[in-house]
Structure 1
Amino acid sequence: MSKNFQRYLVTAALPYANGGIHIGHLAGVYVPADIYCRYLRLNQQDILFICGSDEHGVPVTIRAAKEGVSVQEVVDKYDKLIRESFEQFGISFDIYSRTSKAIHYQTAQEIFKTLYDKGVFIEETTEQYFDPVANRFLADRYIVGTCPVCGYADAYGDQCEKCGSSLTPDKLIQPRSKLSDATPIKKPTKHWFFPLNQFESWLKQWILEEHKEWKTNVYGQCKSWLDAGLQPRPMTRDLDWGVPLPIPNTEGKVMYVWFDAPIGYISATKDYFEQKYPFGEGKNGNAEDWKLYWKNPATKLVHFIGKDNIVFHCIIFPAILKAEGSYILPENVPANEFLNLEDEKISTSRNWAVWLDEYLKDFPDKQDVLRYVLTANAPETKDNNFTWKDFQERNNNELVANLGNFVNRVITLTHKYFQGVVPALNENFVQKSDIDLLENLKTFPAKIAESIENYRFREALGYVMELSTLGNKYLQENEPWKLAKEFEKNQARIGNVLHLALQIVGNLAFLAEPFLPFTAQKLQKALHLGRFYWKELGSQDLLVVGQTIENLGLLFEKIEDEIIQKQLQKLAESKKVNELQNKKPQPFASEISYDDFAKLDIRVATILKAEKMPKSEKLLKLLVDTGIDQRVILSGIAKHYSPEEIVGRQVCVLCNLAPRKMMGEISNGMILMAEDADGSLKFIEPSAKVWNGGKIS
């Protein structure tokens, strides 16, 4: 552990309160952040783990419009869903706050006003996009168009969700408003710009010279931005939802979400101490203690984010704090890359995701399985891919066959040969394999710690599983079940083997805790262990001779193929629904004159008989009453309707279509149908009964 810091402040990116949490969020931000914080607590560090719902910004207002409810209803709904999902999944925040709280408005406005009073902002009237139909200015996310990089037709004005490119509305091809689909125009409006260019030289020194230890992807992206040159960036928007500006005559303008959202970390810390000390002071502190974490250089600030938020957390937010002048800056920003799903980019708009709340319902006791898979497959240095097959294999071949198998064998054998009591270690029967095991055991806490402290969580988890493998190998080499064939003779040796194997299990109960907290808790309880901390691990003395061990059964269960198939089917259905929702009608046919249209004689008719055409999968033979005659019409609707369900229905018939011979039958007319987005055919029929022969005009 670093000796330079007295306390740790760890933040996890504030999720937008416009939907649930998916595996991409978990792998990129929340699982690694939780591992880090749980490890720090095991090291008895003074730590605060901060998060909360980001309830401003255009994605929230877009969701409200889509669901047809107020923005407040949307943020209340999804804040509840997100916080409950995190709690059930074991993400151990010290506080999960909200940016709609008064304390956040107050904090964000104080910082904005400080910069305003210092003359930091540049007030400028510029041409901004405006929707002439909706009669309002458009934030970047309210503008969509074709991405100039990959050609995706529905890229946002600030970023392409398909290829990840950062954009501006000016770069979009054929931009259009999400509100009305109209082509936006530009109109003048006044905004307050933060002069990032004035902080460029300081940022180059602070990042490129002082933080070369940052992850390659983070450092590289920052360098790319800085090398390209920074420009002033607007910190205000023309919106009716957000934190109002704390300056006069600015009605209808709010803070840019990326100005107020990171300040949510500060307001959440204040919120934590106000809840802890509601009367200002307590026995061991007071509500002003938030300053120890934000205004004291003895605090190490670490931001866990996804790679799409690097510029905001490494360049914009630090520059704002630097301009304000009284806050500490992040020591590290360990951003992960993206996690794909079944070889496709995770997309909330396309509902191509594994949602945490749904996972918790489908796998109610398998939080640690998902935590394990997302850590073992973490996108730490490059984009990685989640597949349900890999999820199943890692559970069955690693958790069940390695860790679970080792723990189960040790506890089962202890119950079988020593009535569930920790046997003594007899020095007279210690062998070289025992000594080697203990020497190896001592190395694991330091190896795991070094990996965690350098944000290599996948590697750290690998060491945990390596220790379990070591235990399995030790059992297999010493074979106490074979020695037990002559139990009286070999009792001391069997006791030694199980005593040391149990010490491995005891160490795993704590070394695995940052990664598999639910499993660790089960183990600690079954082993009747007190609380041990990291500095005590690697020891052969965690379990006391004579201590009773509970037989807790299987730690992990195999996941069968049918369970995985259900998840794959759910994804397939999700993809189909998305395709239907985004399917667009075919373009109009070429223009015709009214005289051409007038030639069409369309009448209401009733279907009298219906039967399948022999040797045809598509055609039904219909007898219809047009009010003038009864005629046979062959219609290609056999895959959409059975003969029985359509007899007696009134339909629309094009009666003056020239007869056509089909499969030996003459068809006299055409039934009018409409094709739905899913390809199904629907009858065009009157809303109320009409006499046969009624003309449609």
Structure 2
Amino acid sequence: MNSSKRYLITAALPYANGLKHIGHLAGAYLPADIYVRYLKAQKREVVFVCGSDEHGTAIPIQAKKEGTTAQAIIDKYHPIIKQNFEDLSIDFDIYHRTSAPLHHKTAQAFFKKLNDNGDLEIKETEQYFDEAAQTFLADRFIKGTCPNCGFEEAFGDQCEKCGTSLSPELLINPVSTLSGNPPIKKLTKHWYLPLNKHEDWLREWILETHKSDWKTNVIGQCKSWLDGGLQPRAVTRDLDWGVKVPVEGADGKVLYVWFDAPIGYISATKQYCLDNGMDADLLWKDKDTKLVHFIGKDNIVFHCIIFPIMLKLYGDILPDNVPANEFVNLEGDKMSTSRNWKLEMQDYIDDFVKKENGGPQLVDALRFYLTTILPENKDSEFMWKGFQDANNNELVSIFGNFVNRSFVLMHKLCKGKVPPLHAALLDTKDQALITDIENAKISIEKHIETYKFRDALFEVIDLARKGNKYMQEKEPWIVVKTLEENPENQRLIDNCLHLCLQLTANLAIFINPFLPNTAQKLCKMMKVVDKMLEWQNGGRIKLLSVGYSLRAPELLFRKIEDEEINAQIEKLKNGVKEVVTGTSNTKASKEAAELVVEKTQIQFEDFAKIDLRVGTIIEAEKIPKADKLLKLQIDLGTEVRTICSGIAAHFSPEEIVGKRVTVVANLAPRKMRGIESNGMILMAENTEGKLVFVNPDDKVENGVSVN
């Protein structure tokens, strides 16, 4: 167990230039919230900070798109994003904003200390300048022809059509987006942070000190940067939007957003401490504080190399861990605002949470599915059918089913009260369940402490699965029929339901970091206060007192119907069609139509990542309580793979044994109904809506690659 006195947890500051999608939620905010809820259940001292990043060129660019001011943009999106997080039960201790006067003061003081100490360098360089607008141009305010694909509307930092990273110098025929005129090169002075002077200690700190406890993707990206050699990086830029540079000779200059934004963690902490009578320096300067940054992979360099340099120079603590996640794709494609291929938090809230049959249970349904697909080591995939299956087959059929059966039988067979436990009659099945409860706590703790939230949640659901199996083996509804002949058998019923109810109380504790609304509902049903959810209570079987009456059962979750899922898939497709055809009524969508790439168009490099192999189905069986799933054993020549496939409605197990199939062999493993599925078989849908196999030639051997 970690011995830190206090914890300071940060989640990446989202740009307040538009709505945020569920990929953002899964990347940084949900895992951070899970971790913080766990720490608080442990009664550890923890502060969880976040806030809107309201500077940088993204804000004035969005203002230009919407025909308004930068201030109006941040004032519009900051409260929406903040409310989205609250609606999805992301519980920050403070959600601040970098436009706040306290942040400007904090960022300026940070810059001034580094500058006064001689930690910054001043250089003159040539940059693009718009003579008509009389301003230097940020990369995003320059457009031209992409040298890679020939797209004529490429930005100075990236081509939105082919995705190539660019610099303004690479554009063909560059023009200013402000005036439409070709820019000129003009000398300008800027302050730089000489990253190259810090390579030695960074290499030791990252590649030696943290090589065993940081994620491999984080270590790998940092090593790549260090091996390539660090270069001085500008900390100021010519812009009229941002934190003003607080030194003479810096008129018209602001702090670069990459320098300004992470200081937002410090200013947010200061505001929280001011509001709660605490000392911010104790959090940021005391070595007994454990600082953890939750971010997406695009922020690794800033949080593992650049910000630590800043912190070390300023005299603050360094992060203990930076558990960065990869990206979440949507229905087989990268999320894209310009192509309208996205699922925004606001959309989910409107379509599910705020509906008549929505509410907190649908908040937890999203949190559950996103946790099961968290991109902890590689990019993952949000699939609407996957969301439906996770909710219906795991939350409803396993977790909710166990709790509901326990309560129904308790009311029916034990007069609505917690029955006694007759220790002398405990058998091996009873003892095994008690051991399972104790072991689950240990395993869940281990996984959460090491930021393996997917594995931790699996342990919770697996414990509920074991509860269902235990109850099925004990069959109290059968035992009750023997009471007239043998009244002593009531004690067997008592033991079964006593343990099932104690397991329910443990499930409330264990599920709380992941599904807080479900935990609260369980507390209500058990008539216990929130104190029971403290982590120290987990693993025990004396949480509910004998003779204590419990409320009638309430369904924890509802099934999500096919119609709801089909509507979302259709909505997604229609959104893309609107952008492609330019029929969307919004100004932003019409502008985006010029940049859209059809979903079917991918780069060869994307296709080359897919490993397609020929295989033969050698075994097939139905998965209990999963109407759509078959468990397949597929011979791939050098190995036999277990793959779960949602084809049970179209094929019986007997008719597909011996079928040749094409398998996506390098798909990330996913646990389905407790079974780890390692791959996916390719299917097609005919005009009648029937699935058919994509069969390779029988002459092709198993394991051969499909090119």
1:185 is displaced (CA, Å) by: 3.5
User: How far apart, CA to CA, are the structure 1 residues paired with 2:85 and 2:336?
Assistant: 20
Q: CA deviation at 1:160?
A: 6.1
Q: C-alpha displacement at 1:251, in angstroms? A: 1.8
2:142 and 2:177 in contact (8 A); partners too: yes
Q: Could you tell me which amino acid in structure 1 is paired with residue 503 of structure 2?
A: I
Could you tell me which of 413, 418, 427 is aligned with 1:417? Answer: 413
Q: 1:154 to 1:507 in 2, by over 3 A?
A: farther
From the superposition, tell whether residues 539 and 397 of structure 1 become closer, same or farther in structure 2 (CA, over 3 Å): same
1:535-565 deviation digits (Å, cap 9, x = unpaired):
3211111111111211232111111111112
Deviation at 1:349, TM superposition (A): 3.2
State the one-letter code of the partner of 1:225.
W
Look up the match of 1:527: 526
Asked if the contact 2:408–2:553 (Cα under 8 Å) also holds between the matched residues in 1, the reply is no
Structure 2 CA distance for partners of 1:60 and 1:502, relative to 1, 3 Å: same
Aligned to 2:92: 93
**In the alignment, what sits opposite 1:479?**
475
Aligned amino acid, residue 354 of structure 1: L
1:52 to partner: Cα distance: 0.5
Q: 348, 353, 359: which is aligned to 2:342?
A: 353
Percent identity over the alignment? 55
Q: Which ranges in structure 2 are unaligned for 5 or more consecutive residues?
A: 354-358, 583-589, 596-707
Shift of 1:219: 0.5
Contact 1:161 1:347 in 2 (8 A): no
Residues 224-260 of structure 1 deviation map (CA, whole Å, 9 limit, x = unaligned): 0010001111111111110001112322110000101
Q: Aligned-pair distance for 1:170?
A: 3.4
Which residue is equivalent to 1:683? none
Residue 230 of structure 2: aligned partner: 230
Change (3 A) 1:183 1:498: farther
Specify the alignment match of 1:689 in structure 2: none
Cα distance in 2, alignment partners of residues 424 and 161 from structure 1: 66
Rounded Cα–Cα distance in structure 1 between residues aligned with 2:557 and 2:445: 25
The change in CA–CA distance for 1:272 and 1:584 in structure 2 (over 3 A counts) is closer
Q: Judging changes above 3 Å, is the alpha-carbon distance between structure 1 residues 519 and 152 closer, same or farther for their aligned structure 2 residues?
A: farther
Aligned residues of 2:294 and 2:322 also touching (Cα < 8 A): yes
Partners of 1:8 and 1:483 in 2: CA distance: 51
Deviation (angstroms), 1:148 = 6.6
AA of the residue aligned to 2:105? Q
Q: CA deviation at 1:570?
A: 1.9
1:574, distance to aligned residue in structure 2 (A): 1.8
Q: Which residue is equivalent to 2:695?
A: none
Aligned equivalent of 2:199: 200
Give the counterpart letter for 1:459 in structure 2: D
Q: Which moved more, 1:89-98 or 1:426-435?
A: 426-435
- Partner of residue 578, structure 1: 579
How big is the shift at 1:314?
0.7
Partner of 2:508: 509
Residue in 1 that maps onto 2:435 = 439
Q: Which residue of 2 is the match for residue 379 of structure 1?
A: 375
Q: In the TM superposition, what is the alpha-carbon distance from 1:525 to its structure 2 partner?
A: 1.6
On the 8 A contact 1:222/1:310 being kept in 2, the answer is: yes
Correspondent of 2:385 among 386, 389, 395: 389
- For residues 340-378 of structure 1, the C-alpha deviation after alignment (integer angstroms, 9 at most, x for no partner) is 011111123333211112211211121001101111011
Specify the alignment match of 1:588 in structure 2: none
Deviates more, 1:341-350 or 1:55-64: 341-350
Distance in 1, matches of 2:45 and 2:480, equals 49
The equivalent of 2:331 in structure 1 is: 342
Alignment partner of 2:242: what SS? coil
Distance across 2 between alignment mates of 1:401 and 1:191: 61
Distance 1:228 1:87, change over 3 A: same
| Counterpart residue number, 1:330 | 319
Q: Secondary structure at the match of 2:50?
A: strand
In structure 1, runs of 5+ residues without a counterpart are 278-285, 586-697
Q: Which residue number corresponds to residue 17 of structure 1?
A: 16
Which residue in 2 is equivalent to 1:312? 302
Q: Say which SS state the counterpart of residue 345 (structure 1) adopts.
A: coil
Structure 2 counterpart of 1:534, one-letter code: W
How has the CA–CA distance of structure 1 residues 451 and 184 changed in structure 2, closer, same or farther, with 3 Å as cutoff?
farther
In structure 2, the CA distance between the partners of 1:538 and 1:77, relative to structure 1 (3 Å rule), is same
Kept in 1: contact 2:399–2:464 (CA 8 A)? yes
Classify the secondary structure of the residue corresponding to 2:262.
helix
Question: Does the CA-based 8 Å contact 1:155-1:161 persist in structure 2?
Answer: yes
Q: How does 1:487-502 map to 2 (within 5 A)?
A: 487-488=483-484, 489=487, 490-502=489-501
User: Shift in Å at residue 430 of structure 1?
Assistant: 1.6
- Counterpart residue identity of residue 425, structure 1: L
* Whole-angstrom CA distance in 2 between matches of 1:432 and 1:471: 14
Which string of whole-angstrom CA distances, capped at 9 and with x for unpartnered residues, describes residues 430-476 of structure 1?
21100111011101111011111111111111101110101011011
Mark the CA change 1:520 to 1:181 in structure 2 (over 3 Å): closer, same or farther.
farther
Q: Say whether the 8 Å CA contact 2:419–2:546 is kept in structure 1.
A: yes
Q: CA 1:172/1:395 → structure 2, altered by over 3 Å: closer, same or farther?
A: farther
Give the Cα separation in 1 of the matches to 2:301 and 2:207.
14
Q: 1:522 to 1:218 in 2, by over 3 A?
A: same
The count of residues paired between Structure 1 and Structure 2 equals: 573
Aligned to 2:336, the other structure's residue is in SS state coil
- Higher gyration radius (CA): 1
Provide the residue aligned with 1:467 in structure 2: 463
User: Deviation string for 1:464-503 (max 9, x for gaps)?
Assistant: 1110101011011111111122245321111110100111
Take 1:79 and 1:441, find their aligned partners in 2: how far apart are those partners?
Answer: 43
Q: CA deviation at 1:161?
A: 6.5
Superposition RMSD in Å: 2.0
Q: CA–CA distance in 2 between the matches of 1:462 and 1:154?
A: 46
For the structure 1 residues 177 and 519, does the alpha-carbon distance in structure 2 shift closer, same or farther, using more than 3 Å as the test?
Answer: farther
Secondary structure of the residue aligned to 1:555 is: coil
Give the match for residue 456 of structure 1: 452
Tell whether 2:285 aligns with 1:295: yes
**1:209 corresponds to:** 208
2:541 counterpart SS class: coil
Q: Structure 1 residues 147 and 503, CA, compared in 2 at 3 Å: closer, same or farther?
A: farther
| Match of residue 254 from structure 1 | 254
TM superposition shift of 1:507: 0.3
- Asked whether the 8 Å contact 1:20–1:78 carries over to 2, the reply is yes
Q: In structure 2, what is the Cα distance between the partners aligned to 1:473 and 1:426?
A: 21
The aligned counterpart of 2:668 is none
CA distance in 2, matches of 1:168, 1:111: 29
Task: Tell whether the 8 Å contact from 1:162 to 1:345 is kept in structure 2 after alignment.
Answer: no
Partner in structure 2 of residue 48 of structure 1: 47
Deviation at 1:157, TM superposition (A): 3.8
- CA distance 1:549–1:576, change in 2 (3 Å): same
Report the AA paired with residue 385 of structure 1: E
**Cα 1:132–1:444 shift into 2, 3 Å:** same
**In 2: Cα distance, 1:383 partner to 1:303 partner:** 19
Tell me: CA distance 1:14–1:506, structure 2 relative to 1, closer, same or farther (3 Å).
same
Q: Distance in 1 between matches of 2:465 and 2:39?
A: 25
Q: Once the 2 structures are TM-superposed, how far is the Cα of residue 134 of structure 1 from its aligned partner?
A: 3.9
State how far apart, in whole Å, the 1-side matches of 2:450 and 2:7 are: 15
Residue in 2 that maps onto 1:31: 30
The answer (yes or no) to whether the contact 2:9–2:291 under 8 Å persists in 1 is yes
Equivalent residue letter for 2:385 = K
Cα distance in structure 1, aligned partners of 2:154 and 2:226? 25
> How far, CA to CA, are the matches of 1:147 and 1:431 in structure 2?
73
Q: Name the amino acid aligned to 2:18.
A: G
Q: Distance in 2 between matches of 1:527 and 1:477?
A: 25
AA of the residue aligned to 1:397: N
